[in-house]
Homo-oligomer: A and B are copies of this chain.
Amino acid sequence: MTETTILSSAARTPSREEIEQAFREAYEIGRAATITGKVADYIPELAKANPRAFGIAMLDGEGNRLAFGDTDTRFSIQSVCKVIILAVSLKTKGFRETFSHVMMEPSGDAFNSILKLDTRSNLPFNPLINAGAIQLVSTLADEFSFEDLMGFARELCMDEGICLDQAVYHSEFESGNRNRAIAYLLKSKGVLQGDPEKTVDLYFKLCSLSVTARSLASLGLVISNDGVNPLTGEHLIDPEHVRTIKSLMFTCGLYDFSGRFGVMVGVPGKSGVGGGLMCAARGPMGIGLYGPALDEFGNSVAGVKAMEHLSRRLNLHVFDY
């Protein structure tokens, strides 16, 4: 933690120039950090990403945009899709039913851990780890086709270009045995709905949606703005559900690093092993980051470093009341 001065919580709103300057600095800091990470290799297709790539996109409630670096590069959404899955579940099943299928506690284990499933509870710990997302997908698979869900992702991300990355999907499908194990274990406990193979197939497709840093900024903005697309006025997610999503992103959004991200950045975020990081800051402001070089926890090193800087410079920490 660099002990630099921060704006006091009573500080005036930063000017547009100050905001742009902060993002430019964050971009430089993140870009320099890329060399300290490693591209995911557990899915062959992900290993092809350029480890030095980095981009930040910002979109605020008035439609202002900023973009530095690789903000148009398409990459697979991976775990960031868990937020969309949760939003769909809350929208169609409601709060009560959603949380009859999954708990809402941070797990303290790695993103793909099977450990907790077998020791403490039959329900997955939360919807933002693999087990929880797979569980929710199983409850949605009857009602929604992949195309339906992709359509909702396009709306939330304001990006009609989102489509299935076939190469990643095939790679996921080939390598997804741990997720199949999770699905069959949940099935054996009587928790998973429907067919495990069909469930993980749909889950793999959702993880293989191709997005950009810009799409994630848009998604972050909608979440930041109580579920309303401020550019169109469209209500996409219920405000109560958005609050739930942001809370879970805060406590569980960055795998085993969630606690530290909460302390150091203090903005609800969700990362994916494709290198994406989506943040919903006050303002409203959505921030999308793309940097495929990952830290030991599976988060974009550049993304995390850039967010640390932005949080301090722009006073984004939610606990700077």
Contact = CB atoms under 8 A, between A and B. Distances in A.
A208 to B, nearest CB: 18
Interface stretch (A23-31, A114-122, A229-237, A298-306): A114-122
Interface string A1-27: 101001011000000000000000000
Nearest to A103: B259
Interface stretch (A33-41, A143-151, A161-169, A178-186): A178-186
Contact of A113 (B107, B118, B125, B268): B118
A171 interface: no
Nearest to A6: B240
Nearest to A197: B197
Contacts of A109: 108, 120
Contacts of A65: none
Contact of A251 (B3, B103, B258): B258
A48 interface: no
Nearest to A262: B247
Contact of A185 (B3, B104, B177): B177
A62 interface: no
Interface in A104-143: 104-109, 113-120, 125-126
Contacts of A114: 114, 117-118, 185
Contacts of A318: 318-319
Contacts of A240: 3, 6
Interface string A246-259: 11101110001111
Nearest to A226: B9
A1 B241 CA distance: 12
Interface in A179-238: 180-185, 187-188, 196, 224, 226
Contacts of A263: 104, 243-244, 247-248
Nearest to A257: B105
Given A180-B196, A282-B321, 20 more contacts: A1-B95, A104-B259, A105-B106, A105-B259, A105-B260, A106-B258, A106-B259, A113-B118, A114-B185, A119-B119, A180-B180, A184-B184, A224-B321, A247-B259, A248-B259, A248-B262, A250-B251, A250-B319, A268-B319, A284-B321
27 contacts: A103-B260, A104-B260, A104-B262, A105-B108, A105-B256, A105-B258, A105-B259, A114-B118, A115-B115, A115-B118, A115-B119, A119-B119, A177-B187, A177-B196, A181-B182, A181-B183, A226-B321, A239-B320, A242-B319, A243-B266, A244-B263, A248-B263, A250-B250, A250-B262, A250-B319, A268-B319, A318-B319
